[in-house]
Amino acid sequence: MAPNLKQEDWISEEAYLQSELLSEIKHEYIDGAVYAMAGASKNHQRITGNVSREFGNQLKNTPCESFSSDIKVKVGSKFFYPDVMVVCEDDSDNAYYTENPVIIVEVLSKSTRRMDETAKKFAYQTLPMLKEYVLIEQDFVDVEVCRRSEGWVSRHYFLGDSVTFESVGLTLSVEDIYERVENEDVRSFVESLNQP
């Protein structure tokens, strides 16, 4: 049971999964406790859409498929909604979650940063099939990639860089990831490109 969780507030995985089918808002589940998810900003959606679209195009005619934030990932006694993930082998018969992503992408915001950088990061790294965990800032430009093959060490990419997502065999420029995103870093970069 989650710390500081009263017995009457604890719910089973089965009850959580059933209630999610009926709920108008999404909730994440951590060791018996349920947490409502906040709505996403336009920049968050732009980044998620850009990455999901590029992954989907790359994975055509392969056994792998890209999912965005409506499919859950189960990690032990936790359920999360990653912003983007790719699944290549799914032996689960559950239509609403997977335990086998090869890459997970989370777009950070002020309200989610701490959870994404700590609890989720450590939980995701226990998934046996996971090869890469990606954290993308929306309020400034920073793409952080942690790879199992490199001992989960963080590598950071910025405007002008390209990022290779080894798990899906795709290289993207940071500009492609931040296409249409409106923040100071992107504005300054675009202005520098337009300088004579």
pLDDT confidence of 171, banded at 50, 70, 90? very high
Q: Could you tell me the pLDDT band of residue 30, with boundaries at 50, 70 and 90?
A: very high
Write out pLDDT tens, residues 95-117: 889 999 999 999 998 877 887 88
pTM: 0.90
Q: In what order do the strands lie in the sheet with 27-30?
A: 33-36, 27-30, 78-80, 72-75, 97-98
pLDDT of residue 99: 93
In this prediction, residue 8 has a pLDDT band, given cuts at 50, 70 and 90, of: low
Burial class of residue 139 (count of CB atoms within 10 Å of its CB; 0-12, 13-18, 19+): middle
Tokens 């490199």 sit on residue? 150
Closest among 89, 85, 60, 57 to 70, alpha carbons compared: 85
**What pLDDT, in 10s, does the model give residues 77-95?**
999 999 999 999 877 778 8
**All structural domains of the chain:** 1-37 (no CATH), 40-193 (3.90.1570.10)
